[in-house]
A = this chain, B = another copy of it.
Amino acid sequence: MVKAVFDNFAPDAQKDHFTIGINDDVNHTSLSWDANFSVEPESVVRAMFYGLGADGTVGANKNSIKIIGENTKNYAQGYFVYDSKKSGAMTVSHLRFGPKPIRSTYLISKANFVACHQWIFLERYDMLSSLVEGGVFLLNSPFGANEVWEKLPREVQKHLIEKRAKFYVIDAYQVARNTGMGSRMNTILQTCFFAISKVLPPEEAIEQIRQSIRYTYGRKGEEVVQKNLKAVDETLAHLHQVKVPAEVTSKIEIPAPFSAEAPKFEREVLGAIYAGHGDDIPVSAFPVDGTFPTGTAKWEKRNLALDIPVWDTKTCIQCGKCAMVCPHAVIRIKVYDSRELTGAPAAFKSADARDKEWQSKKYSIQVAPEDCTGCGICVDICPAKNKSETRLKALNMEPQPPLRYQENENWKFFLKLPELDRRDIKLTTIRQQQVQEPLFEFSGACSGCGETPYIKLVSQLFGDRAIVANATGCSSIYGGNLPTTPWSKNLDGRGPAWSNSLFEDNAEFGLGFRVSVDKQTEFARELVHRLAPTLGADFTNLLTTSSQKNEAEIYQQRERVASLKQQLVKIQSPEARQLLAVADLLVKKSIWIVGGDGWAYDIGYGGLDHVLASGLNVNLLVLDTEVYSNTGGQASKSTPRAAVAKFAAGGKPAAKKDLGLMAMSYGNVYVASVAMGAKDEHTLKAFLEAEAYDGPSIIIAYSHCIAHGINMTTAMSDQKVAVDSGQWLLYRYNPERALAGENPLTLDSRTPTKKVKDFLQQQTRFQMLTKSKPEDAKRLWQLAQHDADLRYKMYEYLAQRKPEPVPAREPQPVAEGRPDVKQEGLQTTTK
């Protein structure tokens, strides 16, 4: 596969030398070299471990190399390679040890020991190409020693036979389940490594692992420690060597990384990067302007879910909440004419649409089985109980593997069903709105992510005309980390344009989009006017002054622009050619400036404040996880009082910064504070109002996060507790209301019915302080309650205030330039 890629791009390159270094087939500046050349002494033991991001593999290996370094006479070294994807990304741990100092400041290319901690990698990565002859392959396998051979792909069998490998299997997930460890199998596989490698006497190795378990998990409580210790004890009984047969017998082929249905560039370039061969791709394969296609995450088919949701058509009330909360846009709704069901797979489900406006139409909820991460949030949020069996709902989790093929066929059929005309969808209810096609799907965000549902909502509501400036952080990583992006496009080819900028300048970056779009629109209108004699006065007028406030009006304007373009190609004038280049700018664009709290409250706040003060029509979305999530949980000014975070190990002593109040102080900024899990239609309303407001808008969106130490499946319910306890406020501040003589602030939270501690005790970030520093925790929890009381009463007070009549509102140009450098001299040489 990978060779095929290279054949297309650089037919004359030396194939043997393709594995490392830039292959510059454009300027031909790269030198050829021998990839097999090695200076590593044979005495160095080299081990590679393939794990899934966050499965504990890296942590266990850091621990192993410390044990070896501290308890044996070996010198030791560890390198850990992982990309920035949140879930489904591979990690590779490279451990070296030996009797002499290790001076290899590079990754392992040939290993004595290869461990595959995730079965799904067998079909995805060619791990055994790195194994030396006679080396060990350890596989975490759901299949026992007797049956595993036939389940291996042919390529893997071939490597094992040719390399005369020692092959071990263990069902680490089963051991983990049996010992109460859930899906945590890192210490189990670590034990296997020591058992097989014998770098330490087995008893001693196990004692070291036990000690490190007590050290590592001690602060999480004795129960966690005991479970881990038990898992270690049970491991060796489940570790089995497999006799490697002499013949390749498997019928399983390693598939190409991306489906054959994917476009050529996606298959040959993005697919090669995805398969781990990105460093081999020749320079000529890359886009010259750095622009990558969107809608590419759908080719990944990561198959991460052990269980996926299954729809019960009879119980379902068609509320749309499951689609709303889904972090990965893998549960979708379509409403369509019954005739579209012709040719549907037998297992494809549909029901009569219940919404009165959709009378006589069919309704389907469909899951993308290979893209679902199995978080279960859709099931948790589902309000429809099965009356005959109350433990069931209208959605229920069931194992994915048996459903994979069938639901895949259903998914393909579902995708071909037509979308409802956007003009016919009412945006006042989740029930209807969630029929909108998401243009943000299958991101690499964590399973159960609290940020992505907000982004997906933006993509549904405004995606076909959105331009997104994304600050560094989780959202930039799952949003556009090579090789794929979840940002997508509809059948017309319309979808968000997206780019990422720095923490410290993303608000300004997005403001630049606005200024640029406005300038181009102005130029397009000017050109239309210059061509008015040809285009006609009426059409000119319609093109340049038509309202574009809703889907219907935007649809009309798009039709006009399409008609304009058809006319333009026939007009021979410089104006016509120029207008053709900017005519699309006559359709309203929606600028979104997106980032997390580290960006919005801290590092990017100076710019964010400047952009809010600009008066220009931009929409800022703050995905507020209340901590620097992407970098591992450092406190930000958004972190609430009493939360434990990095740089706030004793619990954050200060209250959360009130970013919304600060933004409101400008008076002409739309401000909303939302929490989808607490009140989804409030979230929807805020997004619609923010976008409609012709000035700066900021939405501060409560986003649950793995950094909070919560059960992600029930995280949307936690959001409700956050609002019910007053820990998080729902409100909207709409300057348009002030113009209408009303108080611009609407407090949408009700008087708290719960206590703040009801919220705090759900989350490890707060709970852990009650164990480590109970006195501090008590005091800080009291203050947290006080913060919430004060905040609620303050907002209630402000929302009750009698408004001032406003004489007029003014568009406000932004200040240009940076006036902190004084001009010190001037030279004029004129004749």
Instruction: Enumerate chain A interface residues (CB-CB to B < 8 A).
Output: 62, 65-66, 69-70, 73, 75-81, 84, 101-102, 105, 472, 503, 598, 602-607, 609-610, 613, 615, 628, 630-632, 634-637, 646-648, 653-655, 657-658, 661-662, 665-668, 779-780, 782-783, 786, 789-790, 793, 797, 801, 804, 806-808, 810-813, 815-822, 825-831
Would A820 and B786 count as touching, CB distance under 8 A?
no
**Bound-state Cα–Cα, A512 to B646, Å:** 20
**Bound-state Cα–Cα, A69 to B830, Å:** 5
Partner of A648, one of B666, B793, B815: B815
Q: A607-B606, A801-B797 are in contact. Are A829 and B69 (CB under 8 A)?
A: yes
Contacts of A613 on B, CB cut-off 8 Å?
637, 654, 657
Q: A77-B828, A665-B662, A807-B782 are in contact. Are A615 and B653 (CB under 8 A)?
A: yes
**Bound-state Cα–Cα, A120 to B360, Å:** 97
Would B812 and A804 count as touching, CB distance under 8 A?
no
**Bound-state Cα–Cα, A817 to B648, Å:** 12
Given contacts A606-B609, A654-B666, A655-B666, 9 further A-B contacts (CB under 8 A): A73-B831, A603-B818, A634-B817, A634-B819, A648-B815, A654-B810, A665-B665, A782-B808, A783-B810
Would B66 and A828 count as touching, CB distance under 8 A?
yes
Give chain B nearest CB distance to A467 CB in angstroms.
24
Partner of A819, one of B646, B657, B779, B807: B646
**Bound-state Cα–Cα, A654 to B76, Å:** 63
Give chain B nearest CB distance to A509 CB in angstroms.
15
Q: A598-B819, A815-B647, A817-B647 are in contact. Are A655 and B632 (CB under 8 A)?
A: no
| Residue of B whose beta carbon sits closest to that of A73 | B831
Contacts of A77 on B, CB cut-off 8 Å?
827-829
Contacts of A654 on B, CB cut-off 8 Å?
613, 615, 666, 668, 810, 812
| Residue of B whose beta carbon sits closest to that of A68 | B830
Partner of A826, one of B80, B101, B630, B827: B80
Give chain B nearest CB distance to A625 CB in angstroms.
13
Can you list 25 residue pairs at the A/B interface with Cβ under 8 Å? A66-B830, A69-B831, A70-B830, A73-B831, A75-B831, A76-B830, A79-B825, A79-B826, A503-B820, A602-B610, A605-B610, A613-B637, A613-B654, A631-B821, A635-B815, A647-B816, A653-B813, A655-B667, A657-B665, A657-B666, A661-B662, A662-B662, A783-B808, A793-B804, A797-B801
Contacts of A789 on B, CB cut-off 8 Å?
804
**Bound-state Cα–Cα, A284 to B820, Å:** 33
Give chain B nearest CB distance to A514 CB in angstroms.
16
**Bound-state Cα–Cα, A634 to B62, Å:** 55
Contacts of A84 on B, CB cut-off 8 Å?
822
Contacts of A822 on B, CB cut-off 8 Å?
84, 630-632
Contacts of A780 on B, CB cut-off 8 Å?
810
Contacts of A647 on B, CB cut-off 8 Å?
815-817, 819
Give chain B nearest CB distance to A507 CB in angstroms.
11
**Bound-state Cα–Cα, A79 to B657, Å:** 50
| Residue of B whose beta carbon sits closest to that of A821 | B631
Contacts of A646 on B, CB cut-off 8 Å?
819
Would A815 and B662 count as touching, CB distance under 8 A?
no
| Residue of B whose beta carbon sits closest to that of A663 | B662
**Bound-state Cα–Cα, A383 to B793, Å:** 46
Contacts of A604 on B, CB cut-off 8 Å?
606
Q: Which 3 pairs across A and B sit closest by C-beta, in order of nearness?
A: A606-B606, A634-B819, A69-B830
Contacts of A793 on B, CB cut-off 8 Å?
804
Q: A598-B819, A661-B665, A786-B806 are in contact. Are A80 and B825 (CB under 8 A)?
A: yes
Q: A610-B637, A665-B662, A819-B598 are in contact. Are A828 and B631 (CB under 8 A)?
A: no
Q: A598-B820, A647-B819, A665-B658 are in contact. Are A78 and B827 (CB under 8 A)?
A: yes
Contacts of A804 on B, CB cut-off 8 Å?
786, 789-790, 793
Give chain B nearest CB distance to A415 CB in angstroms.
36
Q: A647-B816, A786-B804, A790-B667 are in contact. Are A75 and B829 (CB under 8 A)?
A: yes
Query: Which interface residue of A610, A797, A815 has the most chain B CB atoms within 10 A?
Result: A815
Would A810 and B75 count as touching, CB distance under 8 A?
no
**Bound-state Cα–Cα, A292 to B460, Å:** 63
Would B76 and A628 count as touching, CB distance under 8 A?
no
Would A653 and B812 count as touching, CB distance under 8 A?
yes
Contacts of A830 on B, CB cut-off 8 Å?
66, 69-70, 75-76
Would A829 and B503 count as touching, CB distance under 8 A?
no
Would A783 and B811 count as touching, CB distance under 8 A?
no
Contacts of A70 on B, CB cut-off 8 Å?
830
| Residue of B whose beta carbon sits closest to that of A783 | B807
Give chain B nearest CB distance to A91 CB in angstroms.
12
Give chain B nearest CB distance to A647 CB in angstroms.
4
Would B631 and A76 count as touching, CB distance under 8 A?
no
Would B615 and A609 count as touching, CB distance under 8 A?
no
Query: Which interface residue of A69, A637, A793 has the most chain B CB atoms within 10 A?
Result: A637
Give chain B nearest CB distance to A36 CB in angstroms.
24
Give chain B nearest CB distance to A827 CB in angstroms.
6
| Residue of B whose beta carbon sits closest to that of A662 | B662
**Bound-state Cα–Cα, A345 to B503, Å:** 66
Contacts of A636 on B, CB cut-off 8 Å?
815
Contacts of A811 on B, CB cut-off 8 Å?
653
Give chain B nearest CB distance to A478 CB in angstroms.
14
Would A819 and B628 count as touching, CB distance under 8 A?
yes
